């Protein structure tokens, strides 16, 4: 029973990993921007949920109505006015990659600094839906179940969007080859901006959900950026279901390792899996070709 519950816990955590990686996959996989300030959107979403609840007694889920559009527009502006000029300036992809990393690294410090000044550095947290639910005899917290459900729903929705719609076809073409894409009349800059902004919006959702069960502070963003990066690389850049699957594998491996071997090993398991994937399938577990 304890074993089953450990696996279930792992699945729930894995869903959260998948969720935070989905947005990065849109930003890096489709818009081709390595955004090191990615996690700052999560931090913003978490703080929004926190302040809405503590200041105005507004339900954290309702705060999504505010944080998601703001994150979408904010990320769109960043892409349009901060990152697009780099594309024009860069001589080649390597230069562009280095430039984006530098710019978004700077952005990370700006966001973190502003948050630190505005909201102080202390840890925040609130209790929301921290009620036990029983799944096949095991007990889990409702807030974690909610995050998991949202992750699966978003991953499936993105998968469907990419596979079955006109927009999705264009986004996939951009992900594979932006040069070829523009020569079949796809408006690459506009759709890349859209993908980048949507990635930010997903991160705001993740931030809201994560804040329901994990405490956070102004400097938490980078932790989630790194986690997302690991999951994206494991699952395959641009692959949404792969991303979710990689998140689940990580979550379950951590939980099982903690239960069967030693809880202190979860981080080691995490990186061992990551290295293994890099060595055996550097293109990601779920990538073709």
Partner 1 sequence: MQRRTVLKGGVSLLAAAGAPMVARAQAPKSIRIGYAVSLSGPYAPGAQSTTWSQYKLWAKDVNDAGGIFLKKHDRKVPIELIDYDDRSQIEEAIRLVERLILNDKVDLVLPPWGTATNLATAPVFNKHEYPAIHYTASAMRVRQLGPRWPYSFWALVQPDNGTEPLAAMCAQLKKEGKIKGRIAIMHVADQLGVEMATAMVDACKKAAVEVVYNKSYPLGVSDLQPQIREVMALEPDAFFCFSYPTDTFMVTEQAQVVGFSPPIFYTGVGTPFPAYVAKFGAKKNGVLLYGAVDTTAPGQKEYIERHKAMFNRGVEIGSIGTYGTLQILQKAIEQVGEIDRKKIRDAIASGTFETIADVYTFKDQVHQTAWAVGQWQGDEVVGIYPADKRGAKPLMFPKPKW
Partner 2 sequence: MTAEPLLAIRGLRKSFGGLQAVRGVDLDVADGAIVGLIGPNGSGKTTVLNLVTGEIAADGGSVRLAGQEMIGLPAFRVCRSRIARTFQLVRILPGMTTRENVMVGRLFGAEPTTPARARDEVGALLECVGLAARADQAGSQLTYIDQKRVELARALATRPRVLLLDEWLAGLNPSELQIGIALIRRLRDEGVTIVMIEHVMEAIRALCDHVVVMSAGALIASGAPDAVLSDPEVARVYLGEDDA
User: What DSSP character marks residue 94?
Assistant: H
Q: Which of 61, 140, 161, 253 binds partner 1 (CB under 8 A)?
A: 140
Tokens of 205: 């959702």
Question: Under a CB-based contact definition with an 8 Å cutoff, are residues 231 and 20 in contact?
Answer: yes
- Residue 232, classed as helix, strand or coil, is helix
Closest CA to 230 of 255, 249, 202: 249
Least Å distance, CB 33 to partner 1, is 24
Query: Does 214 help bind partner 1 (rule: CB under 8 A)?
Result: yes
Query: Does 283 help bind partner 1 (rule: CB under 8 A)?
Result: no
User: What is the total count of residues that contact partner 1 (CB under 8 A)?
Assistant: 50
Query: Does 49 help bind partner 1 (rule: CB under 8 A)?
Result: no
User: What is the total count of residues that contact partner 2 (CB under 8 A)?
Assistant: 25
Q: Which helix (H) or strand (E) holds 133?
A: strand 132-135
Q: Which residue has the tokens 């959260």?
A: 16
DSSP state letters, 23-87: HHIIIIIIS----TTHHHHHHHHHHHHHHHHHHH---HHHHHHHHHHHHHHHHHHIIIIIIHHHH
Measured CA angle at 66 (ends 64, 67), to 5 deg:
65
Interaction pattern, residues 200-239, with partner 2; x per rule: CB under 8 A: --------------------------------------x-
Query: Does 209 help bind partner 1 (rule: CB under 8 A)?
Result: no
Query: Does 218 help bind partner 1 (rule: CB under 8 A)?
Result: yes
Query: Does 48 help bind partner 1 (rule: CB under 8 A)?
Result: no
When CB distances are held under 5 to 8 angstroms depending on the partner's kind, the choice from partner 2, partner 1, none that residue 179 binds is: partner 2
Phi, psi of 125 (to 5 degrees): -175, 160
Query: Does 145 help bind partner 1 (rule: CB under 8 A)?
Result: no
Least Å distance, CB 54 to partner 2, is 46
- Residue 135, classed as helix, strand or coil, is strand
Q: Which residue has the tokens 């079949």?
A: 184
Span near partner 2 by CB under 8 A; candidates 20-28, 66-74, 96-104, 170-178: 170-178
Alpha carbon 8 to chain centroid distance? 21
Query: Does 202 help bind partner 1 (rule: CB under 8 A)?
Result: no
* Residues binding partner 2 (CB under 8 A): 164-166, 169-170, 172-173, 175-177, 179-189, 238, 287-289
* Residues binding partner 1 (CB under 8 A): 2, 5-6, 9-10, 12-13, 16-17, 54, 109, 112-113, 116, 120-127, 130-132, 139-141, 144, 213-219, 222-223, 251, 254-255, 258-259, 262-268
């Amino acid at each position: 029973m304890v074993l089953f519950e450990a696996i279930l816990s792992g699945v729930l955590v894995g869903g959260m990993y998948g969720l935070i990686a989905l947005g990065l996959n849109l930003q890096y996989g489709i818009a081709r921007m390595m955004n090191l300030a990615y996690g700052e959107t999560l931090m913003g979403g978490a703080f929004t949920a926190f302040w809405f609840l503590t200041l105005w007694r507004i339900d954290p889920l309702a705060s999504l109505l505010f944080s998601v559009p703001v994150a979408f527009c904010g990320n769109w502006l960043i892409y349009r006015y901060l990152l697009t000029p780099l594309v024009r300036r860069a001589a080649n992809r390597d230069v562009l990659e280095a430039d984006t990393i530098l710019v978004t690294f700077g952005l990370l410090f700006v966001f973190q600094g502003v948050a630190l000044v505005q909201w102080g550095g202390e840890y925040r947290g609130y209790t929301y839906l921290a009620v036990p639910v029983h799944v096949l005899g095991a007990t889990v917290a409702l807030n974690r179940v909610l995050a998991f459900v949202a992750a699966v729903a978003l991953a499936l929705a993105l998968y469907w969007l990419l596979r079955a719609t006109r927009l999705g076809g264009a986004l996939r073409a951009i992900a594979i080859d932006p040069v070829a894409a523009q020569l079949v009349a796809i408006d690459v800059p506009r759709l890349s901006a859209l993908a980048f902004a949507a990635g930010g919006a997903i991160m705001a959702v993740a931030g809201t959900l994560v804040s329901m069960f994990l405490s956070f502070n102004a400097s938490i963003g980078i932790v989630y950026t790194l986690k997302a990066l690991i999951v994206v690389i494991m699952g395959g850049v641009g692959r949404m279901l792969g991303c979710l699957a990689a998140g689940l594998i990580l979550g379950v491996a951590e939980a099982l390792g903690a239960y069967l071997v030693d809880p202190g090993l979860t981080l080691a398991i995490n990186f061992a899996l990551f290295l293994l994937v890099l060595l055996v399938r550097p293109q990601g577990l779920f990538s073709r070709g």
